[in-house]
Amino acid sequence: MAGLTLEHVGKKYPNGYEGVKDFNLDIADKEFIIFVGPSGCGKSTTLRMIAGLEDITSGTLKIDGKVVNDVEPKDRDIAMVFQNYALYPHMTVYDNMAFPLKLRKVDAAEIDRIVHETARILDLEKLLDRKPSALSGGQRQRVAMGRAIARQPKVFLMDEPLSNLDAKLRVQMRAEISKLHDRLGATIIYVTHDQTEAMTLGTRIVVMKDGVMQQVDTPSKLYSEPCNLFVAGFIGSPQMNFIDATVGEAAGKIVLNFGGNTVTVPDSKAEALKPYVGKVVVAGIRPEDVVEENEYAEGRNLSEAIDAAVTVYELLGSEAMIYGDVDGGAISAHISAANPARTGSRIKVAFDMDKLHVFDKDTELAIVH
């Protein structure tokens, strides 16, 4: 297995469009790295440059310390799994997995050993004689993975490998890929537009937008300390609430004013906001950190109460989401299913100020978490 280094990697397409700009990343051996971001942000382009399917127009790509910019795809020791898992329809599962090894002239006994070992890892042993047409979507995807694993590459690249599967199967395969990563101890680079997939699979996540890397961090760090408004809004579902607020000072404390509401900022976050007194900032608070009056709890650093009018109620099972209007903005909150708040209710909510994020309105960068 292997580590990768991308230094100032960029891609300018022949029409002049810059699909990826100044991408810098060190990927350690055995990492599970996710590239995530909205469609068109440059995820696949970056992955394809690593695979060698797309020229790198600036910068350097190293695998195991060796520059591979001009190395042919087949010589990079990388296996790629795509969303269209294109198995050979006339071949059995066994032959589908054996084919890349035959091409590399591996001897028959060794091929047989590798295919059986791979089938065991992926729970495909009973399906080795079947043709792809006699397999379910999930089984076909496992065979496609098997074909990649059988090649024993240094690095696995996966481009939205689950996006053609239905929701239930996707969750199942997600867990399998996670187990597979543990078992193989492989370096995996995985592209998805789905932030849930990114959060559950990755050891580190690269969030991209418009060809530019926004933040690289562990899932929990991305969630608790997003570096800018884009990352804060992209990671987390339902998404973080954003409210324009004016920073003020009252009785020696820093406060945020929006509409007729005032919330006092805890001392731990006040210092960073002092230069913003008199200016408008964006306050960010996740739905689970907006607490309805019936659920006020010890141990939460709650703000002053804010009146809200519930406009939408969604029961999710043991929990519910409410969406409502407050003076100066709109707010969503996670509440318990036992909470009596419903559409049309007038309620009070408070923010858990320890979980408050504040962003600069002009630069969109985080000021404080």
- Compute the least distance from the CB of residue 203 to ligand ADP, in Å: 21
- 17 is an interface residue for ligand ADP by CB under 6 A: yes
Contact between 10 and ligand ADP by CB under 6 A: the answer reads no
Shorter beta-carbon distance to ligand ADP: residue 4 or 366:
4
133 belongs to the binding site for ligand ADP (CB under 6 A): no
Note whether 59 and 6 are within 8 A (CB).
yes
Q: Which of 2, 6, 9, 41 binds ligand ADP (CB under 6 A)?
A: 41
Contact status, residue 292 vs residue 313, Cβ threshold 8 Å = no
Q: Which of 5, 10, 34, 42 binds ligand ADP (CB under 6 A)?
A: 42
Continuous H helices in the chain? 43-51, 93-103, 108-121, 137-150, 167-184, 195-201, 219-224, 229-234, 267-273
Q: From 40-48, 63-71, 112-120, 180-188, give the range in contact with ligand ADP by CB under 6 A.
A: 40-48
Is residue 40 within the footprint of ligand ADP (CB under 6 A)?
A: yes
Nearer to ligand ADP, 23 or 223 (CB): 23
Q: Considering only residues 298-357, where is the footprint of ligand ADP by CB under 6 A?
A: none
Contact flag: residue 72 with ligand ADP (CB under 6 A): no
For ligand ADP, which is the closer residue by CB, 23 or 351?
23
DSSP string, 211-261: TEEEEEE-HHHHHHS-SBHHHHHHSSSSPPEEEEEEEEEETTEEEEEETTE
**Under the criterion CB under 6 A, does residue 15 sit at the interface with ligand ADP?**
yes
Question: In angstroms, what is the minimal distance from the CB of 81 to ligand ADP?
Answer: 15
User: What is the side-by-side strand order in the sheet with 58-63?
Assistant: 18-27, 4-12, 58-63, 66-67
Using CB under 6 A, count the residues that bind ligand ADP: 12
Looking at 43, 140, 151, 174, which residue binds ligand ADP (CB under 6 A)?
Answer: 43
Binding site residues, ligand ADP, CB under 6 A: 13, 15, 17, 19, 37, 39-45
